[in-house]
A and B are shown apart, each in its own frame.
Chain A
Amino acid sequence: TQLLEQSPQFLSIQEGENLTVYCNSSSVFSSLQWYRQEPGEGPVLLVTVVTGGEVKKLKRLTFQFGDARKDSSLHITAAQPGDTGLYLCVDGGGSNYKLTFGKGTLLTVNP
């Protein structure tokens, strides 16, 4: 059974600060996805990464996939209160296409 470990579990920062959260898998990712979940809502897909070593940027968010395809990081530049939410690392693969989620990093950006 694949285990996804995310760190830190909680992160509280001030608006304007930079941050990085991490995800490590016990096995190679089929495909790596990051989702953000706001309170009372379902997760929303941010990015899908497939190739080891790949870096994707989405405005102030930078996603990096490790060369060995077992780890990933998400860096946010100049965080804003709207970035507040639960960031979930996900393996989007598998023979039955189920999603395997980590426990998430709960980010709070204070104004």
Chain B
Amino acid sequence: DAGVTQSPTHLIKTRGQQVTLRCSPISGHKSVSWYQQVLGQGPQFIFQYYEKEERGRGNFPDRFSARQFPNYSSELNVNALLLGDSALYLCASSFSMVRDSYGYTFGSGTRLTVV
């Protein structure tokens, strides 16, 4: 079975531009979460979506937005890019929002570099 798929794998953007990152969850998983991992840090929570509705938002500016589609795939959008937005963006999927022993399955991430 395919795992969590993220695209693109790498991306270089210029300050002020906008970027869209994509995530396809494991088949049957209805929850998708987005995390930002700056070099040398642990991942930080950005958004969680379940059944196409936003269920949680981390401490990120309004330049960050996301959505989940009927097929449970998701997009993360970042507007007006800053140098500090350079990071590995991780998508994680799970079957439901119920806390269980299986945790989340992460994709390999999109490496965004802002120049």
Partner of A97, one of B4, B44, B99, B102: B99
Number of residue pairs across A and B with beta carbons under 8 Å? 61
In the complex, A41 Cα to B108 Cα: how many Å?
A: 4
The answer to whether A42 touches B48 (Cβ under 8 A) is no
**A43-B33 contact in complex given A97-B97, A99-B43, C-beta closer than 8 Å:** no
How many of chain B's residues have a CB under 8 angstroms from any CB in A? 26
Across the A-B interface, the 9 shortest Cβ-Cβ residue pairs: A42-B106, A101-B42, A96-B56, A45-B103, A98-B45, A48-B101, A103-B42, A101-B43, A43-B106
A93 at the interface (CB under 8 A from B): yes
In the complex, A99 Cα to B43 Cα: how many Å?
A: 9
**A93-B43 contact in complex given A41-B108, A42-B107, A42-B108, C-beta closer than 8 Å:** no
Interface size class of A (residues with CB under 8 A): 20 to 34
B64 at the interface (CB under 8 A from A): no
The answer to whether B35 touches A99 (Cβ under 8 A) is yes
User: In the complex, which residues of chain B have a beta carbon less than 8 angstroms from the beta carbon of A42?
Assistant: 4, 90, 92, 106-109
The answer to whether B97 touches A103 (Cβ under 8 A) is no
The answer to whether B48 touches A96 (Cβ under 8 A) is yes
B84 at the interface (CB under 8 A from A): no
In the complex, A102 Cα to B92 Cα: how many Å?
A: 17
The answer to whether B97 touches A45 (Cβ under 8 A) is no
**Which residues 35-88 of A have a CB within 8 angstroms of B?**
35, 40-45, 48, 88
